[in-house]
Structure 1
């Protein structure tokens, strides 16, 4: 039986087409996926992301425990309200999950983890942190909204009476009454993610829609994050891949050298030996839409499409693919027995509503 978020009735009232995702019932779209996608690129859209798991870590041992648990280093956080993004790894350097970690205050951190990995994440954390002086609490009393797009912050500031958002820096959060509002997102656009009590979610959602923010579903969320080159756990990365082969080397804090985080030895060995695979963008012409699992044929060996689809902003088929390390710039993607030419490009395809140089080159 799938779970429902506090906004289930609101989604149905707004015409949401509901589907099962990671054990939850969520809207895939309300009307046109392309229109929802463009609303976020050009104005503002709101997503129900209450299926994400909020985990609070408190106690005198929280800092040292998270420095061991995460590949990124919470000591990179310089002030309360600041966040870092990174991965939680197993002993072999495989990615258990990617997550955002906020420092609320000394000895109090908030983690946002993926819905699909919720149970495994919590079990791993509790096992690895059992001897630390801390309390780990899953906050299932909280919902979460993502408001994304160039007009998103202004809309949230007005609807939530939170003018402080106008000056909030990226990867910073503020506590505003019962709301925890962060300048983060998963679309490649500016915006906010709002963590709030379940009982307040429906009114906040309604206020945003009344202000002209467009309700958006999972379909637009996926096409937006694909164009932005953002990994989806379970497709673009998992325990069989490391951050170094997932375009996430920048999230691994190897310094200071004496921080012994889980998976460090495996990553150092891979870095020294040479990373065997890389995650790249592919741009295709007419002939088919690339999907996860499609073979990619390169001069350096065989790879695989990890995510693919039609990019509404770039107006052509695009994909993320893991291919052998090398210099290949022209490859072929196998779709239904046909081999279609594709260009290798650096991710992302789109940032801040703009198509990046090189993506549309013929």
Structure 2
């Protein structure tokens, strides 16, 4: 398939039938919104919304060297994963310490693991992972699972809505802790994860079951949501977006992701470790709230007490009714500092705030 031809998830016809506004996202034709992006955002904060995230790629990693391989591949330490179904968020780095991708890794048993990678980086990630395994002779089998679909159901009522349409999943998932997953049927994984700052599930299931599941949820009042709401939700939740807060040119310690890098085991030589241990930490990622009317966007310039910075993301916050953003700024800038943002040639006042901006529907910034 040529780069000019967008890829389609199995739910693509459903989105078109619903009248969704479609856009290219990482080479995929995906719904931006189904009408009102604001209503979709509020549905997730107040009740429940669902997202087609089937463009993301599930990759199974199996074999006797799986743990050793992932220990080498990831900046976070899979030694933390000992309970079946437990998940770990991590970055996968290049030799220079730049972020190839951020991903979630699931442990099921010593020979059976899964990583979930971003859509726009999936092909690059897969090639990198296969090369890392082959070049260092790890005994693993790496299998991309494009036979699977993935639906995120998010919001304070999300789990109850899922149980209402799939009651047979309830016994296995009612006690599921955050950042854990469990198989409820063959090739059907329910994980208590998300990208919105709300509770909920991300469900991986056979592609041929996705349409009926989506339609059943919609019949129970779960609102279909697009990329627009997904972006404002993740921004309010203080969650990074690959390609904006981090990429191959920046390492995780200046991307607000130091907590995902584990140096605890001095003998664990993960790819990129030496580079980021030697790097100068001269910048940091902070939250910014605009104090006047206007809308901040990525790449706008900032003035701070310590020097210039740049917004990596920015939008109007539907929950807070003000513009918020993330910015890469000189080290030493901290919450409470007054800064200025250049919007259409004018420097407007803003404040550095601690992230997240919103947690479980409540404004905290």
Q: For the superposition of Structure 1 and Structure 2, which TM-score range results when normalised by the shorter chain?
A: over 0.9
3-state secondary structure, aligned to 1:3? coil
Q: Quick one: distance in 2 between partners of 1:90 and 1:301? A: 29
Q: Distance in 2 between matches of 1:145 and 1:100?
A: 15
User: Are 1:308 and 2:314 matched, yes or no?
Assistant: yes
What is the CA-CA distance between 1:78 and the residue it aligns to?
2.2
Q: 1:268 is matched with which residue?
A: 277
Q: Which residue of 2 aligns with 1:289?
A: 295
Deviations 1:28-60 (A, max 9, x none): 001111110010001100000000011100000
Give 1:345 deviation, angstroms.
0.6
- Given that 2:304 and 2:333 are in contact with CA atoms closer than 8 Å, whether structure 1 keeps it comes out as no
Instruction: Please tell me whether the aligned partners of residues 286 and 355 of structure 2 are also in contact (alpha carbons under 8 angstroms).
Output: yes
TM-score by length of 2: 0.95
Q: In 1, distance between residues paired with 2:27 and 2:99?
A: 21
SS in 2 for 1:225: helix
Match of 2:164 in 1: 158
Q: 2:339 aligns with which of 310, 319, 331?
A: 331
Distance 1:128 1:165 in 2: 35
Q: Residue 213 of structure 1: which of 213, 217, 222 is its match?
A: 222
Question: Residue deviations 1:124-171, cap 9 Å, x none?
Answer: 111111111010011010110000001111111221221122211001
| 2:29 alignment partner in structure 1 | 25
Q: 1:125 aligns with which of 116, 122, 129?
A: 129
CA separation in 1, counterparts of 2:27 and 2:110? 34
Shift of 1:209: 0.3
Match of 1:341 among 341, 349, 363: 349
Q: Which residue of 1 aligns with 2:89?
A: 85
Matched positions, count: 354
User: Residues of 1 paired with 2:164 and 2:105: CA distance?
Assistant: 26
What do the CA deviations read for 1:96-136 (whole angstroms, capped 9, x no partner)? 10000001222111000001111111111111111110100
User: Is the 1:154–1:166 contact (alpha carbons within 8 Å) kept by the matching residues of 2?
Assistant: no
Q: Which residue of 2 aligns with 1:320?
A: 326
Partner of 1:352: 360
Q: Aligned with 1:236: secondary structure?
A: coil
- What is the alpha-carbon distance in structure 1 between the residues aligned to residue 189 and residue 304 of structure 2? 46
Q: Which residue of 2 aligns with 1:102?
A: 106
CA contact (8 A) 1:304 1:323 kept: yes
Distance 1:105 1:207 in 2: 32
SS at match of 2:329: strand
Runs of 4+ in 1 over 4 A off after TM superposition: none
1:255 to 256, 259, 264: 264
Partner of 1:47: 51
Q: Distance in 1 between matches of 2:165 and 2:114?
A: 24
The answer for the alignment partner of 1:167 in structure 2 is 175
Does residue 226 of structure 1 match 2:232?
no
Query: How large is the RMSD of aligned CA atoms in angstroms?
Result: 1.0
Q: Distance in 2 between matches of 1:310 and 1:222?
A: 11
CA distance in 2, matches of 1:81, 1:216: 27
Residues 183-214 of structure 1, C-alpha deviations (whole Å, 9 max, x = no match): 00000000100011110110010010011101
Matched, 1:197 2:172: no
Deviation at 1:287, TM superposition (A): 3.3
| Alignment counterpart, residue 42 of structure 2, candidates 32, 38, 42 | 38
**Does the alignment pair 1:298 with 2:304?**
yes
